[in-house]
Structure formats: structure tokens, C-alpha cells
Amino acid sequence: MPDDSNLVIAISSTALFDMRDSHEVFEKEGVDGFAEYQRRNEQVVLAPGDAFPLVNKLLRLNERLVGKPQVEIILLSRNSADTGLRVFNSIAHYGLKISRAAFSGGNSPYRYVKAFACHLFLSTNHEDVRNALNSGIAAATLLPSIKSCNESDQLRFAFDGDAVLFSDASERIYKEHGLEAFTENEARSANLPMDPGPFKSFLEALHRLQSQFKSEDCPIRTALVTARSAPSHERVILTLREWNIRIDESLFLGGLDKIEFLRSFGADVFFDDQKINCVPASRYLSTGHVPHGVSNEN
């Protein structure tokens, strides 16, 4: 059984490696043509995909942790084990310490995210991500990005608040009734912790790892990057305090564009529920769209 203290992240093969050529063959020639193409190119190493730099930095965390490895990457793929051999050969080529995988033979592999006790699922397949979220797992669709992780050894995660770390209840009030109703609700509910969003358990897992290091020497750093501003900031702070979760930096932007703040923070990856924020951010850093909450209902 997986160790509850570990950080376990599931990555789709199409997020880990650039498989656009393979997908093009599949679209043109179907399953049989795709299978033949993969077998013919088994020894041709796949180029890194959008999640590759992030996975590399995640696995390097194990070098800083005392005792057995505590960060594990699980590979999930719609390939069969036969056609997926090229993926494992590429994993071996790059020296990635990934040993567990599920090859679902054309079906969605999201069903195995919970079985592997994963805290996060990253994929390029929007439907798989939605299904994982509906199953209670933190998940995001990785958008194509021309920028890899920052050069620092420190791994930096940035999160939106409502509908990501927290529930979308407050954001729903804003969307349906406007800013004034939102502000009134937050003032009235200032002492009531918000309900958790889909990424709370992932943030908890990161916090457990961070707790093993002195704050000045921690290889993981987190930031909340939210459109909220005073006075709605108070409820956020009290909620995190109630959860006993540490956030290293909190940016209450009051509707300002997030991109320059994400770049100033040096984020390796940013998670947000609104594509209007994700698409421009993906030009500068790895970005995961979280298709959850009121902003994604239509």
C-alpha cells in the first residue's frame, strides 16, 4: 500500500513526453497504425513534454529528504503496455525514477488515480481531468508552454484561491450577484472557515514535506495568488490557520493581472480555475487549468 506520508503525483504520458507525432499517426491511421508506429520507434527517445521539467524537479526533492524517497511519480497512459514500451524506454533514457504505471489500453486511466492514492493528477486530456476532479482528486489540464521551470533548485507552486484551494461558494456569489454581494458575504462570514476546494489535500501533502525542513532551507515554496483584496483577505487567512497549513507567500491583488506577480515569485507551476488567467500565464510558466467550480459550468 502507498505510504500516507508520501507525496504521490500522477502524470499522463502525453504530459510527460511530447507525443504529438504519435497522436497524429493515431488520428490518421487508427489504433493498428499507431501500434505499429510505436513498436517501430521503440528505441527512439521521446522529447520532453510540458510536465517533464516539473517532474524532474519533483523527483530531485528525494535527494534532500532523509531516509526513503517520499515523492513518487505515477505514470498513467491510454496506451497498452505493448505500445507503451517506448514511454518506459524514454523514462529510462532520462534517468527518471518512475517505477509504477497504469496502461489502460485505450480507456481513460483516471480511474487508477485514487487506487494509487495520488494527491494530484496532471494530464493534457481535459475529460480525464474533469473525471478525476469529480472523483475528489486534485487535477489540472496542463496547457502547452514554451517556458520550462525556473533554474533554481527550489520548487515553487502558485495557487489561485476560490475554486482551487477553497470551494467556489464565494466566487459563485460574485458571479451571480456582483462584487457588493460578495464583499458583504465575506464580511458577514469573516470568522467562518471556507470549505475546502479540490487542491486542499495536495497543499496538505506539500505542507507535510515542507515541515521536514527549516523554513530558510526548504526546497518547496508555495504562494496564494488571488484576485481577492481587503477586507475579503481576512477569511482566507483564518481558513488557512484553521487548516493548520502554511502558505509561504500570499498575494491579494484586487483584480490586478497575475502574470507579473507570478513571474516575480518565480513560479514553476500555477493552478487556476479560469482559462482567462491560465492561457496568458502559460506563455511564461507551466500552467494547470482546474476545470472546477462556477467558472467552468458552461
Domain limits, the chain? 7-142, 155-296
Does residue 163 register a pLDDT over 60? Answer: yes
Distances (CA, A) of 32 to 12, 21, 48, 76, 290: 21, 15, 25, 21, 33
pLDDT confidence of residue 153:
80
Same fold, 7-142 and 155-296: yes
Residues that are catalytic? 160
DSSP state of 293: S
- From 8-22, 141-155, 276-290, the region with the lowest mean pLDDT: 141-155
Mean pLDDT, range 61-82, rounded to an integer: 88
- State the residue for C-alpha cell 481535459: 126
pLDDT range class, residue 146, cuts 50, 70, 90: low
Residues 199-216 as b or e (16 or more Cβ within 10 Å = b): bbbbbebbbebbeeeeee
Mean pLDDT, range 78-85, rounded to an integer: 81
Measured on CA atoms in the order 253, 275, 165, 163, is the torsion positive or negative? Answer: positive
With both helix axes pointing from N to C terminus, report the angle between 169-177 and 179-188 in degrees, rounded to the nearest 10: 140
Quote the cell numbers at residue 215: 523554513
pLDDT range class, residue 3, cuts 50, 70, 90: low
Does residue 83 register a pLDDT over 90? Answer: no
pLDDT tens digits, 32-43:
788 888 888 889
Superfamily of domain 7-142: HAD superfamily/HAD-like (3.40.50.1000)
Mean pLDDT, range 208-224, rounded to an integer: 92
pLDDT confidence of residue 292:
95
pLDDT range class, residue 64, cuts 50, 70, 90: confident
CATH code linked to domain 155-296: 3.40.50.1000
pLDDT range class, residue 2, cuts 50, 70, 90: very low
pLDDT confidence of residue 148:
61
pLDDT confidence of residue 33:
80
